[in-house]
Amino acid sequence: MPKVIAITSEKGGVGKSTLAVHLAGAFAERGLHVVLIDEDGRVGSSLRWAARAAALGTPAPGHSAPRGLDFPVLGPDDIKPKKLADLDVLIIDTEGRPKRKELRQLAGRADLILVPSATSALELDATRELLEFLSDETEAGRKTRVVLTRVPPVGRAGEEAREDLRDLGITVCNTLVRLYSAYQKAAELGTLARDVRDSRAEAAWDDIKQLSRELL
Ligand X SMILES: Nc1ncnc2c1ncn2[C@@H]1O[C@H](COP(=O)(O)OP(=O)(O)O)[C@@H](O)[C@H]1O
Residues that bind Mg ion (CB under 5 A): 16-17, 45
52 vs 150 by CB, closer to ligand X:
150
Closest distance between ligand X and the C-beta of residue 14, in Å?
4
Distance (Å, rounded) from C-alpha 51 to C-alpha 69? 9
Closest distance between ligand X and the C-beta of residue 139, in Å?
24
The contact set with ligand X (CB under 6 A) reads 9, 12-18, 45, 96, 149-150, 177, 179-180, 183-184, 187
Closest distance between ligand X and the C-beta of residue 26, in Å?
14
Q: Which does 187 bind (CB under 5 to 8 A by kind): ligand X, Mg ion, none?
A: ligand X
Tell me, rounded to whole angstroms, the distance of Cα 28 from its chain centroid. 14
Q: Beginning with the edge strand found earlier in the chain, give each strand of the sheet holding 3-7 in spatial order.
A: 73-74, 34-38, 89-93, 3-7, 112-117, 144-148
Q: Which does 13 bind (CB under 5 to 8 A by kind): Mg ion, ligand X, none?
A: ligand X
Q: Which does 12 bind (CB under 5 to 8 A by kind): ligand X, Mg ion, none?
A: ligand X
Residues in the chain: 216
User: Which stretches of the chain are DSSP H helices?
Assistant: 16-29, 45-56, 81-84, 100-109, 121-136, 138-143, 157-167, 181-189, 201-215
140 vs 208 by CB, closer to ligand X:
208
**Is 87 in contact with 117 (CB distance < 8 Å)?**
no
Q: Which does 185 bind (CB under 5 to 8 A by kind): ligand X, Mg ion, none?
A: none
Closest CA to 45 of 13, 71, 6: 13
- Specify the 3-state DSSP secondary structure of 200: coil
Q: Which does 15 bind (CB under 5 to 8 A by kind): ligand X, Mg ion, none?
A: ligand X
9 vs 175 by CB, closer to ligand X:
9
